[in-house]
Structure 1
């Protein structure tokens, strides 16, 4: 699985790219929607990663 820092860096890069694309093309453009889906997937991966970390059983 991707390390914490690498995942955070990927998230930030994807967020910045989405911002730039949106400013250039507007919200409905295919490239903006595609980048939004990429960012969503990274956010989901990040949430799963930290949810699993926090939910480890302590027995």
Structure 2
């Protein structure tokens, strides 16, 4: 679970950073777009980890 908790914390930190950048610069600023892509990749990692767990056999 440590890996999942670390990823969740990274997601939250990057989400907050995106929010802060958007508030400072607006939606179209390059820094906001870059941070959005970073957050998207973390979300993709989280989904891959989650769905990999679902596909593992129980027995």
TM-score (norm 2): 0.92
Q: Which residue of 1 aligns with 2:54?
A: 54
**Greater percentage in helix:** 2
SS in 2 for 1:3: helix
Alignment partner of 1:3 is 2:3: yes
Task: Supply the RMSD in Å over aligned alpha carbons.
Answer: 1.3
Q: What stretches of structure 1 of length at least 5 have no aligned partner? A: none
**Helix, strand or coil at the partner of 1:15:** helix
Number of equivalences: 58
Q: Does 2:35 correspond to 1:39?
A: no
Task: Provide the C-alpha distance between the structure 2 equivalents of 1:50 and 1:17, rounded to a whole number of angstroms.
Answer: 24
Deviations 1:13-45 (A, max 9, x none): 000000000000000000000000000000000
Greater than 6 Å deviation, 4+ residue runs: none
TM-score by length of 1: 0.92
Ranges in structure 2 where 5+ consecutive residues have no aligned partner: none
